[in-house]
Amino acid sequence: MRDVTPGERGAVVAMASPAAAPDASAARPGRLGYVDGLRALAALYVVMSHMVSEVWQYNNPPAGLPRLLAMPFAYGHYAVSVFIVLSGFSLMLPVARRGNRLPLGVWGFYWRRAKRILPPYYCAMALSLLLIWLLVGQQTGTHWDVSLPVTGRAIIEHLLLVQNLSFTDSTTINHAFWSIAMECQIYLLFPAFLLLWRRYSPLFATVAIVGLSLALLFWLTLTWVGRLPYYAGFTFVPQYIGLFAIGMCAASAYTAQSDRWRRLRDRYVWEGVALVCFAALALAIDTWPIYLLDLFTALGTVGLLFAAARPGRRNPVRAALDWRPLVWIGGFSYSVYLIHAPLVQVIWQYGLRPLGFGLGHLVTYLALLIVGIPLIVAASWGFWYVCERPFLNSKPLGWRTDVRASGKTR
């Protein structure tokens, strides 16, 4: 088996982590609806990706119609990349509007992040453990098997949010949880990134952080970590640090008030940037290095954000991403991420497998999509209402209605 990078190992259990949303209430006035819409698309893509791997383990459907219908949705890793960029973008918006300084200080920032992320995460961890104990604790030859068995050591690592650094437990309990740990580790670096923002320019700081993250990736690849087997765990993905910085840089450009930045933001070039980047991703997805594809995904995401932000009544990108059902789902996409993995297994194991394999893998996959996605969305909304909504920050810092220099609200 070929050697792979730590980033590629992370792609094996790819998921989306919308944990960075300052608030999950899509109805709150002033939220950037197109950001929630993009978050929802990424979350739904990840659910579909895990449904592909549930039916065809290792994401390897046979040639013909199964491959045609399933493979376009088998690359959940890049939805993670989208969410990492959105994390940097959404967290940087209020800070950039305040001179690159944290409104409540470093400890205030850490407290708000912990309050926002940890209670729902621990509730989802308890739910996953309960479902493993009662329903899905036996290996069944599906992708869910990577979440088993659960050990005391794995529970401690997940409680401390360091499971992505483990070589044995990074995907146990719930194979989607590893990137929550990855994001929280990046959040710890956020105040240090702001120092670079204030000391140097946002562009210089971003290039430096991206370069350092790639250097760390290459160092890990050249050491014994990079020679681990493909499924050996260790889902620490260094290039995500650079992608987070790209999202921060996009927020700095988004809030800049100079005429030069405003003209650049409002150009129609951003649709082309997004199209070129995502087309390159689609064409080279199985051939180019994963870190390079991550960079294309990040730039494509920035292109979509700027295209949607361009003022004017006729903006098809914003109209598509502002579609109310998408914005609604984006409001609780963190809950979708937290609980979808065990629910996919429950639906397959107790709803579809009893019907027999005579259904065929393709029919099983389509049934998962048609029946499973609405059930998971409904269950995620219920989880959000009970386990996430009570811990929302009552006064989100940022995500207000954007105000241009003209003084008009969008």
pLDDT of residue 355: 79
pLDDT of residue 284: 96
The closest alpha carbon to 187, from 149, 139, 240, belongs to 240
Amino acid at 109: F
Estimate the crossing angle of helix 105-134 against helix 333-347, to 10 degrees: 10
Other CB atoms closer than 10 Å to residue 272's CB: what's the count? 12
- The answer to whether the CB of 264 falls within 8 A of the CB of 256 is no
Residues of the chain with pLDDT under 50: 1-3, 12-16, 20, 22-29, 230-232, 395-410
pLDDT of residue 262: 80
- Both structure tokens of 122: 């621990």
Asked if residue 405 belongs to a domain, the reply is: no
Asked if residue 334 belongs to a domain, the reply is: yes
**Residues 40-69: tens digit of each pLDDT:** 999 999 999 999 999 997 788 888 999 999
pLDDT of residue 312: 80
**CA atoms of 395 and 213, how far apart (whole Å):** 33
pLDDT of residue 27: 37
- The answer to whether the CB of 104 falls within 8 A of the CB of 39 is no
Asked if residue 350 belongs to a domain, the reply is: yes
Asked if residue 402 belongs to a domain, the reply is: no
Q: By residue range, what is the domain housing residue 141?
A: 16-391
Give alpha helix (H) positions in 60-104: 65-70, 77-96
pLDDT of residue 409: 32
Count of the separate structural domains present in the chain: 1
CB within 8 Å of 210: residues ≥ 6 apart: 242, 245, 246, 295
**Residues 127-173: tens digit of each pLDDT:** 999 999 999 999 999 999 999 999 999 999 999 999 999 988 999 99
Asked if residue 403 belongs to a domain, the reply is: no
pLDDT of residue 177: 96
Asked if residue 361 belongs to a domain, the reply is: yes
Asked if residue 11 belongs to a domain, the reply is: no
pLDDT of residue 314: 87
Estimate the crossing angle of helix 239-255 against helix 290-309, to 10 degrees: 20
- Residue 15: helix, strand or coil by DSSP? coil
pLDDT of residue 20: 47
pLDDT of residue 100: 94
Asked if residue 157 belongs to a domain, the reply is: yes
